[in-house]
A and B are shown apart, each in its own frame.
Chain A
């Protein structure tokens, strides 16, 4: 069967990690790219960043957080089950170079999305500093993986249960200050849009070029619908084919945040219906 789930593991914070057998995607994937999954013939197409691709084994790794119907349904799949469609790789790969000193700021499930970028930035010889955050210590994911892929890794939790008590942006300010003299060449950020917006506001003042990966609502993922439109420097761009990464200083995050809630009422309804039919266990 195509798109068979090879392994599955539950992480903290309602996050799940699965490996999917899909050799054609694994073969071509570059960091920063994503796939669209369709669980069965009644499913929606949902975008998921690929955390790791193994061309030899023909698998890709996905980490997702249960936030609604589709992700809850996916969390109930077990090794051996197959997902109907796994389409990709989609989107433009991250622009990777030897920038110099780079800060990678991520939060929540965004940590998973940023991991492949941290790794490759490190591999090509950047001095990579990472800042990861979560609401609380038990929800923090991939701490070891991130730590081993960069020179320094800082942690922030909203409740202070691990690392700094506060937001990743608080740590970011400290780090920027510390390297004031020697400089910081680039910032990458993936996480909740409000976090990315706050990161961009800080780095804009210091004029550090910042790249954010936008999680706009996608439908086809191939540039045919305009659902994922985002506004960058006043211009309309399609996150699926022009992105998902954009210059964070030019992104209109308020529009992104607003548009992400467009289908909320329907999504909640679908989630409730699914839980009524299939139980609410995660």
Chain B
């Protein structure tokens, strides 16, 4: 019955001209027949390379096997065993560098579409109201979790399953971290994020929104009230280029641009109050997932031309291949090998363009990517009316300033050991707060690992 190999089952997508009119999900998702056909391509490899390259070692073969037998419920339960948010990871993991990238069919670009299978089972379970069943044996110990991004979510879920009393603190008025405020709805529909958050509530995680640890509740108070603390505060503070012209109107950090657009729904202005001004010609500095998200939002906000301004070339871009592909389809243009020197403005204080210098690729740097080297006297100007800097973010100093006892690196990322323990006993950390700009799946893995460590720590101290 199983048709091994064969061509990858294509994913239906909204056509580019259609989707740039709205923020609806671009992939339409597999049908039941399609998902079974795709699952049946899997070889069930004895040495399971896909699982080894999944940072959380999901039981991918088990999930695929169940899908192949049309047992979607079983597939969901298998996925959920290792991964509290398959509907999200299935959509945003850089699969081509992980699970799918090592699948034997991937050399032809036809690796089993693990991400889309994972998203399918999660969506199917949501639609059919299937949830896991487990008994929680309550324990009295209390754990505080700072941040409600993927790291915090996975840590909270695991600790609740073990019976701990979990309180989560989130600075913003909505939970989910980058999933909520950063990644746009056309990549990750907000119903899916909301569902995962409602699952936390179902598990009776106490969710305290609008609570900024270090500002309206101090870190010391947290330490006092909880036996253990997990810090999953992410890396939410924007970085700027520190060049001339950043004061100009029309210049945004990627965070501001995405925050306005996604969290505050500026694309529905004036039905929603928060404004955004996105001009006809938009330049975006950077070429990672964040830059792609900004560029694709700008297209949807009505920009005529959107340029990705990158100091390397598209081949070195750290973005997911699917994002680059979608961005190009939607009309985003790449200007490669350029570096901004200064932002230009008019006498009303509005941005009018950017001066760039041309770069060439030199010897590889520490990251293994070729280092961009400036070409002398190659400066030129392009006209823009919106300029967005997607340079990566740093941990927020509001929290760190209030927790001076914590040992941090010079970048402000929190130092942890292999168990994700920080320099303070009983305090653990993970996700972007320790790694800088990483990925959803690494943050999720950290949250789970920290939950393990916290369980061991509390069990040890209870035994005395």
- What is the total number of residues of chain A having a CB less than 8 Å from a CB of chain B? 41
Which residues of chain A have C-beta atoms less than 8 A from B273's C-beta?
42-44, 69-70, 270
Interface with A: B19-27, B109-117, B236-244, which one? B236-244
Residue of B nearest to A228 (CB): B256
Interface centre among B250, B252, B264, B396 (most CB of A within 10 A): B264
Which residues of chain B have C-beta atoms less than 8 A from A89's C-beta?
215-216
Which residues of chain B have C-beta atoms less than 8 A from A42's C-beta?
265, 271-273
In the complex, per-residue mask of A227-252: 1 if CB is within 8 Å of any chain B CB, else 0: 10101000010000100000000001
In the complex, per-residue mask of B265-298: 1 if CB is within 8 Å of any chain A CB, else 0: 1000111111111000000000000000000000
The reply to whether B247 and A224 contact each other, CB–CB distance below 8 Å, is no
In the complex, per-residue mask of B211-247: 1 if CB is within 8 Å of any chain A CB, else 0: 0100110000000000000000000111010100011
Chain A CB within 8 A of B320 CB:
no
Chain A CB within 8 A of B173 CB:
yes
The reply to whether B264 and A45 contact each other, CB–CB distance below 8 Å, is yes
- Secondary structure type dominating chain B contacts: loop
Residue of A nearest to B272 (CB): A42
CB within 8 Å of A: which B32-82 residues? none
From B215, B253, B398, contact of A225 by CB (8 A): B253
CB within 8 Å of A: which B389-439 residues? 396-398
Interface with B: A4-12, A140-148, A151-159, A255-263, which one? A255-263
Which residues of chain B have C-beta atoms less than 8 A from A259's C-beta?
247, 249, 349
In the complex, per-residue mask of B193-223: 1 if CB is within 8 Å of any chain A CB, else 0: 0000000000000000010100110000000
CB proximity of A224 to chain B, nearest CB, Å: 4
The reply to whether A241 and B398 contact each other, CB–CB distance below 8 Å, is yes
Interface with B: A117-125, A128-136, A167-175, A215-223, which one? A215-223
Chain A CB within 8 A of B172 CB:
yes
The reply to whether A223 and B216 contact each other, CB–CB distance below 8 Å, is no
Chain A CB within 8 A of B259 CB:
yes
With A223-B237, A266-B277 given, can you name 4 additional A-B contacts, CB distance below 8 Å?
A219-B260, A224-B237, A266-B270, A273-B270
In the complex, the 7 A-B pairs of residues with the closest C-beta atoms, listed nearest first = A266-B275, A258-B349, A225-B256, A44-B273, A226-B253, A262-B249, A44-B274
Residues of B within 8 A of A (CB): 171-173, 210, 212, 215-216, 236-238, 240, 242, 246-247, 249-250, 252-253, 255-256, 259-260, 264-265, 269-277, 348-349, 396-398
Contact sample, A vs B, 13 pairs, CB 8 Å cutoff: A43-B273, A44-B274, A44-B275, A90-B212, A220-B171, A222-B396, A224-B396, A225-B256, A226-B253, A258-B249, A263-B275, A270-B270, A273-B270
Residues of A within 8 A of B (CB): 24-25, 28, 38, 42-45, 69-70, 84-85, 87-90, 219-220, 222-227, 229, 231, 236, 241, 252, 255, 258-259, 261-263, 265-267, 269-270, 273
